[in-house]
Amino acid sequence: MRENILKTNNVLKKYFLKQKILPILTIEELSTCKFLEDIFLENGVRTFEITLRTEVALKAISIMSSNNNFIVGAGTLKNEKDVCSAMSAGAKFGVSPGISDNLFNECQRKSFPLIPGVSSPSEIMIAYNRGYEILKLFPVEVIGGIKMLKALAGPFPDCSFFPTGGISQDNAKDYLNLSNVYGVAGSWMVPKNLVDQSDWNAIRKILKSSLKNNA
């Protein structure tokens, strides 16, 4: 089973080989998928996360993963049912807010790449001992931010982190400059209020600026 996780670690590394920022989407209207697809294609965004927080989330994953240009991940995975539903919808990887044996076991059985959410050294040890080397540190700004990541570098030299929770255009670069940060994730690139307003030009500008500043 551990061998499955080691293999999925390599899959995740391929997904993020060229893209170090992960847009997080919470989609409430399926009509937004087409607009976001066009914006992502224009700006070379290949990998992104759709959270399982809305009634249409799985359908949105299905729609956007049908485009071969995209690698769509499912966010907010909390249990075995979420894993099965995400995989059936076409998600290529998952992201969780926390960890549990049930979640780990299901992802291992299905060889489903997972970026597990951790917020303490104890949780990092549990995930790492399972074979996970790329971890979501969440909510990073609340639990210590950059200072926390610098402190974790010593005892966990083999772990790489995707800090999430409080990442913005203003601090993303500071996080990416850390040696143990594999990438950053956040919703600031596609703000919900702008999606609600269908302000696609504003979203386009924010995304383009984020990619340019964090290349």
The question of whether 59 is a catalytic residue gets the answer no
Catalytic position from the list 20, 49, 92, 106: 49
The pTM score is 0.95
The question of whether 49 is a catalytic residue gets the answer yes
Domains parsed from the chain with CATH numbers:
2-209 (3.20.20.70)
Per-residue pLDDT tens digits of the chain, which is 215 residues long: 677 787 899 999 999 988 999 999 999 999 999 999 999 999 999 999 999 999 999 999 999 999 999 999 999 999 999 999 999 999 999 999 999 999 999 999 999 999 999 999 999 999 999 999 999 999 999 999 999 999 999 999 999 999 999 999 999 999 999 999 999 999 999 999 999 999 999 999 999 999 888 76
Length of the chain, please?
215
Catalytic position from the list 20, 92, 106, 136: 136
Q: Check: CB of residue 115 under 8 Å from CB of residue 137.
A: no
